[in-house]
Structure 1
């Protein structure tokens, strides 16, 4: 029988898509503003990138005027925070290639792996035993300190299903201590008695954000800066297998009466696939530049959406314990990270 409403199928597609527009327009506007502000020389010099600015703008709007049009924008904001985030993480793989590993050698990879594993272990023990924090907050803070800052926190959120305030607390700790590292690491360099290459490995294996690594590395010199970025990219690459393992673990913790069903973070595999494609050097550089700009925009929109759905009251309720945990991890990244670098460098 012919449908009495021949345009119903079209409406079923258009109406949900139209519902996304207000929220996408809002997060897109905030992302554009954040990207533009992120080009400010002072912010760049201090390692404050567009993602950090985007979440700050989102929180500003979210805690002031957003309530007036939250109902109309909610669908698009949720889409930005979830779907655009996953796409952004996949395209993040265009920033590195498997050949980057060869430039730091096996020793550099081992340094990164040891720093990541030890930091995650310390975060879990101290966060749950010493500070009594909930496991999701501990994981998000630990991941942000161990891998690649805010981007790692945002990539982990869909796996652990963290609340907006938990994610924002974790991102805030990255901003606070990562920014401190920009100034502290160059001041420490003359006292460390190490080469610029060794300093680059140290900075890249222990500082939170990519932008912060760039700032702290190049403050010592271009050689140190290049090595620092490569070491950092190897840490970024380790995020994908961690997310797969975390997803399997979270599935078992949540419990199933039947066979264990793993909620697979397919965007993590996409991240690896894109990094592998980039390793083949088949894509023209202009295309990679455009894709990277699109990736920056999507990640900024996800950050803005997170800020919009975060309330200061919830952050205040978190208290000082998350900051204390992040401070402990920061101290470990400096002292423990330096020791790990020295020991492995002596072996290789």
Structure 2
């Protein structure tokens, strides 16, 4: 009897189509989010599309979604993981070594002191005081210490943590970063915090969470302060890579339940090296300004897609379990950024500026 050839399986084709549909769905959602974030109600508060994206994605998945095909999940997951790594690497084109050199040792010292102290305090407060799990405490601390939602995304990708933990950390960044953005200019303009232009730049750039929040707050003081604050903020962003490497080394040496010593969860992320490489490229100024601007806009959209996808994977029931403790951790970190950051700024100015 002749053997009938087996019919080729269509599963791979369907899987590929489902993945592409999921990515397209996230992209279209991110387009709507970008338009929404451009409205004055959000733009005037310095709320970036990244923040709007994770909130909108979470609201959709928890209340408005009638059911996304299961085959789309792979595309949504790719947007929240694979695309995220590419976007974080491209973030390096926003930083140059020349800009960092402009603020000298004062800006670098403030950034190092704020980032290291905030991470240590955040881990201690989150894990010891409020009994948060390591990932939630670390994500909250990283968002406060380095560059807000972008840092949360970078650490989430490296830790491979659950989406709701990133959502809690981003929520802390949104709430306390926005409050500080409104408070800082008031403190300076009313004389409560007597700082000169350099001091304002060091303080704002060294302690506010998001880049947009730094620009929004400093622009209410002066254009000179905005310039310095933005450069100091970019110095903090540059510290994302060494912090990821140090944290990765720490976790890899720690004993975790069910794992042998030295078998930590986090690995050295390749996108960190991509970030550094693009900082060097940007510093060499080999790319036309129009190309850099276009890539930065594309990168913002990719980050918005990643945030939106993370929101879609988030469940409010998971957030409620640790929400108050995560917010309390964020509140204590914000107090440290205000008062501890001001003390660091004044001390560095006295010693180095």
Give the shorter-chain TM-score range.
over 0.9
Equivalenced residue count is 343
Structure 1 contact 115–333 (Cα < 8 Å) conserved: yes
Q: Which residue does 2:156 correspond to in 1?
A: 157
How far off is 1:315 after superposition? 1.3
Q: Structure 2 stretches of 5 or more lacking a match? A: none
Determine the structure 2 residue equivalent to 1:317.
321
Q: Deviations over 1:214-254 (max 9, x none)?
A: 10011111111111111000000000111112222222335
Aligned alpha-carbon RMSD (Å): 2.0
Whether the 8 Å contact between 1:159 and 1:246 is mirrored in structure 2 is no
Partners of 1:48 and 1:211 within 8 A in 2: yes
Correspondence 1:240-259 to 2 at 5 A: 240-253=241-254
Instruction: Tell me if structure 2 keeps the 8 A contact 1:157–1:167.
Output: yes
User: SS where residue 254 of structure 2 aligns?
Assistant: helix
Deviations 1:99-137 (A, max 9, x none): 111111111101110011111111111112211111111
**Structure 1 residue 16: Cα displacement:** 4.4
Tell me the distance in 2 between the aligned counterparts of 1:293 and 1:130. Answer: 40
> Contact between 1:147 and 1:236, CA under 8 Å: does it hold in 2?
yes
Q: How does 1:109-120 map to 2 (within 5 A)?
A: 109-120=108-119
Deviations 1:129-160 (A, max 9, x none): 21111111110000000000011001001222
2:293 to 289, 293, 297: 289
Q: Please, which runs of 5 or more residues in structure 1 have no aligned partner?
A: none
Q: Distance in 1 between matches of 2:45 and 2:142?
A: 22
Structure 1 residues 127 and 257: alpha-carbon distance in aligned structure 2, compared to 1, 3 A threshold: closer
Residue 73 to residue 324, structure 1, CA distance change in 2 (3 Å): same
Q: Within 2, Cα distance between the matches of 1:113 and 1:74?
A: 39
Q: Are 1:276 and 2:277 counterparts?
A: no
How many angstroms does 1:282 deviate by? Answer: 0.5
Return the TM-score normalized by structure 1. Answer: 0.93
Whether contact under 8 Å (1:77, 1:305) holds in the other structure is yes
Q: Using a 3 Å threshold, how does the CA distance of structure 1 residues 257 and 184 change in structure 2: closer, same or farther? A: closer
